[in-house]
Amino acid sequence: MDTSQLLKGVLDLAVLAVLRDADGYGYDVLRRLRAAGLEDVADASVYGTLRRLFQAGALTSYVQPSEEGPHRKYYGLNKTGHELLARSTKTWNHFADTMSVLLEEEAA
């Protein structure tokens, strides 16, 4: 039901993942995440996560004006960000595998 708790600690990873291919600004990252299936992500969570990752030194940031609305604050992965993404992905995969085994045991 409540996917919000599942996101804990994983939103970082998801945000890094959608920024891997191309820089993006908050509102855009939000749309990418929702399009990817994370439909219940709240906007404040995304903005907060971007700020946190930036402060942690994983993202670059630059502001660009837009002609379709307010200015946009773009974020992109730097070296630290890529490393973090790689590490977090491994951690996640390991964790997901563990859960998988736990849940499937005795299912047969």
- CB-based burial label for 80 (10 Å; 0-12, 13-18, 19+): middle
Applying CB under 8 A, does 20 fall inside the site for a second copy?
A: yes
Touching a second copy, residues 46-105 (CB under 8 A): 87, 89, 91-93, 95-96, 98-103, 105
- In whole angstroms, the minimum distance from the beta carbon of 44 to DNA comes to 3
Closest CA to 18 of 71, 94, 77: 77
**In this structure, which amino acid lies at residue 13?**
L
CA 71/CA 65 separation, integer angstroms: 4
Question: Among residue numbers 36 through 55, which ones bind a second copy (CB under 8 A)?
Answer: 36-38
Number of residues that bind a second copy (CB under 8 A): 33
Q: How many whole angstroms separate alpha carbon 43 and alpha carbon 47?
A: 6
- Please give the residue ranges that form the binding site for a second copy (CB under 8 A): 1-6, 8-10, 13-14, 17-18, 20-21, 36-38, 87, 89, 91-93, 95-96, 98-103, 105-106
